[in-house]
């Protein structure tokens, strides 16, 4: 889907900054800004250690917003699983980013509930 969007002929503007800003200017806006050295960290829930986001992950994540309109947290739904109500919250942009990163270096974040340790 990303390749189709990139090949569509509509340009995507990527602004590199040194202010610690990592954001899309809006869903489907095709404009994003990324600080490749912002050193944002998240708590790896599998290891309970802090891990820095790579510049590649930051760029892929913001592309998911700006080009594909993916949101960080989707709408939660409640389902009945063997008599118990379970709430499921999809993480569409995290899953998109994980798909890219899995192919690059095998890293998977899994869900958005990981917190940032530095001003993010």
Q: What is the DSSP letter of 47?
A: T
What is the DSSP-derived secondary structure letter of residue 54? P
The ranges assigned to domains in the chain are 2-104
| pTM across the whole model | 0.70
* pLDDT tens by residue, 67-105: 888 887 766 778 888 888 877 767 788 888 888 888 888
Confidence of residue 118 (pLDDT cuts 50, 70, 90): very low
Residue 112, pLDDT > 70, answer: no
Please report the pLDDT score of residue 48 as a whole number: 77
**Predicted pLDDT of residue 99:** 85
Q: What is the dihedral of CA 101, 105, 108, 113, to 10 degrees?
A: -70
Query: CA-to-CA distance for 53 and 58, rounded, in angstroms?
Result: 7
């Amino acid at each position: 889907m990303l390749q189709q969007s990139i090949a569509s002929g509509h340009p995507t503007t990527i602004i590199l900054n040194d202010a610690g800003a990592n954001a899309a200017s809006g869903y489907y806006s095709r404009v994003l800004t990324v600080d490749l050295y912002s050193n944002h960290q998240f708590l790896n829930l599998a290891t309970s250690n802090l891990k820095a986001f790579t510049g590649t992950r930051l760029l892929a994540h913001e592309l998911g917003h700006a080009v594909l309109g993916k949101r960080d947290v989707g709408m939660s739904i409640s389902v009945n699983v063997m008599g118990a109500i379970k709430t499921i919250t999809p993480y569409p942009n995290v899953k998109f980013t994980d798909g890219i990163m899995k192919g690059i270096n095998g890293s998977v974040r899994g869900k958005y509930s990981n917190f940032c340790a530095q001003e993010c």
